[in-house]
Amino acid sequence: MTDVRIGPALVVPVDAPPFTGYVEVTGGAISHLGEAPTAAAAAETVGATGRIVVPGFVNTHCHTSQQLGRGLGDDVDLLTWLHERIWPYELALTEADAELSALVCAIEQIRNGTTLIADPGGRHVDGMARGIAAAGIRALLGRSSMDSGDGRPKGDRESTAEVLAAQDDLAARWHGNGRLRFSYTLRTIFNCSDDLITATVERARALGSVVQMHVAEIPEENAHTVATRGATTVRHLARLGALGPDLLAVHAVWLDDDEIELLASSGCPVSHNAASNYKILGSPRIADMLDAGVLVGLGTDGAPSNNRMSMIDEMWLAAIAQKGLRRDPTVLPAAAVLRMATLDGARALGMAGLVGSLALGKRADLVLLDPFTANFATAADPVSALVTALKSENVESVMCDGEWLMRDRRLTRIDEGAVLAEAAARAAAVRRRAGMT
Ligand SMILES: [Zn+2]
């Protein structure tokens, strides 16, 4: 007995050639891929003629707790953005706000075809976890971790031991809880001691998870690390033994050739947040990283740093911008960018054995796209158009772990209108409490 049979459709597995045929799902896993369906009876049959089936997108950097702060970070530099906008916002956020923020963020992710996010964490991780779990997507949770340095908000000053203990506690509660996993985090090297970095990496490795860390975001960060530790951030992390496949270097904008080589040789993956990078931080050398063999996933970052929270937009922007920066239209071809947004993102989060492509035995995280729209219908190559032409309105149905979270553009679990109305009111209340009205 098959639970769900989808097809015939254009199936784009990402780690195998596209074909026209069927995807079948049983027990939440992909049980069949082929030009013909199996002979088994199916509990649900989804006629999908003309549709495209792709793996759910993997968003490798998504601050769910910042969703109520959309628009707070427009047109300011990074340290103003962080110290005067984001930290006051985060301090004003209650656990109930964080839960609602995460739920709204997850709704936006579903509407854009994303089924797995890596959340680098805010302060109310239990609330964020509940919000994400209510929406039903998969997530790698984290807690924003800082134990030292300047500018930390008054309500957020913890010792190294306290930071670690809080994360151990969350790992015990959430790692492997439903579709949630836990990852240790380091906010930035400005606010993380070497003891915290070393202990964090050790704990993540023991848990079999990854560390999320903002790395080399601005030139001032490298200057600070040189002044306080004697080397740039990436070099210093390498000296500490922290660089490796289990450390996700988020942003990684300001790198020289040797640092790119250090990422490549250590297997340290990068989360490229195109919109957020270009808006606030600078232009990372993604094409150079790919040439060097660095594993790169894509991410949206948070609502105050991107304003759009769509992996579809990120794919398009990542491709276009690197072509322009390198003055070479052949870099970041569509197939590579689609892979960055799916399988490579899952690899960067250490979850490629579970999701990231349509493959037998993987969990059924997939998206049904409707190409019959003015922006897509005439595309010569529908696979290329997944990067160059796709928009949110093409996302018709979304499945995570074998469960439909959106079907024919309607969310199955959530009263979307009520949640959005509540979120708009709550966002205004948070701005008032943070003194940002
Ligand atoms: Zn971030």
**Residue 82 clears pLDDT 70, i.e. is over it:** yes
- Residues 30-41, mean pLDDT to the nearest whole number: 98
Distance 23 CA to ligand 1 centre (A): 35
Domain ranges of the chain: 2-55+360-411, 57-348
Q: For the domain with range 57-348, which CATH number is right: 3.20.20.140, 3.90.226.10, 3.40.50.620, 3.20.20.70?
A: 3.20.20.140
pLDDT at 151 (0 to 100): 66
pLDDT 10s digits, 386-416 = 999 999 999 999 999 999 999 999 999 999 9
pLDDT at 264 (0 to 100): 98
Rounded Cα distance between 341 and 133, Å, is: 22
**Lowest-confidence segment of 27-31, 96-100, 147-151, 301-305 by average pLDDT:** 147-151
Distance 301 CA to ligand 1 centre (A): 5
Distance 299 CA to ligand 1 centre (A): 9
Rounded Cα distance between 189 and 28, Å, is: 40
Q: Predicted confidence band at 155 (pLDDT cuts at 50, 70, 90)?
A: low
Distance 255 CA to ligand 1 centre (A): 18
pLDDT 10s digits, 122-141 = 889 999 999 999 999 999 99
pLDDT at 156 (0 to 100): 67
Question: Of 1, 11, 52, whose CA–CA distance to 33 is shortest?
Answer: 11
DSSP secondary structure string for all residues of 167-188: HHHHHHHHTTBTTEEE-EEE--
Distance 271 CA to ligand 1 centre (A): 10
Distance 431 CA to ligand 1 centre (A): 20
**Residue 255 clears pLDDT 90, i.e. is over it:** yes
Distance 300 CA to ligand 1 centre (A): 9
**Residue 188 clears pLDDT 70, i.e. is over it:** yes
Tokens 């975001």 sit on residue: 217
**Residue 144 clears pLDDT 80, i.e. is over it:** yes
Q: Predicted confidence band at 153 (pLDDT cuts at 50, 70, 90)?
A: low
Distance 55 CA to ligand 1 centre (A): 24
Distance from the Cα of residue 25 to its chain's centroid: 25
Q: Domain 2-55+360-411 is of which CATH architecture?
A: Roll (2.30)
pLDDT at 78 (0 to 100): 79
**Residue 23 clears pLDDT 90, i.e. is over it:** yes
Distance 120 CA to ligand 1 centre (A): 6
Distance 168 CA to ligand 1 centre (A): 21
Q: Tell me the percentage of the chain whose pLDDT exceeds 70.
A: 99
Distance 21 CA to ligand 1 centre (A): 39
Distance 214 CA to ligand 1 centre (A): 6
pLDDT at 93 (0 to 100): 95
Distance 365 CA to ligand 1 centre (A): 24
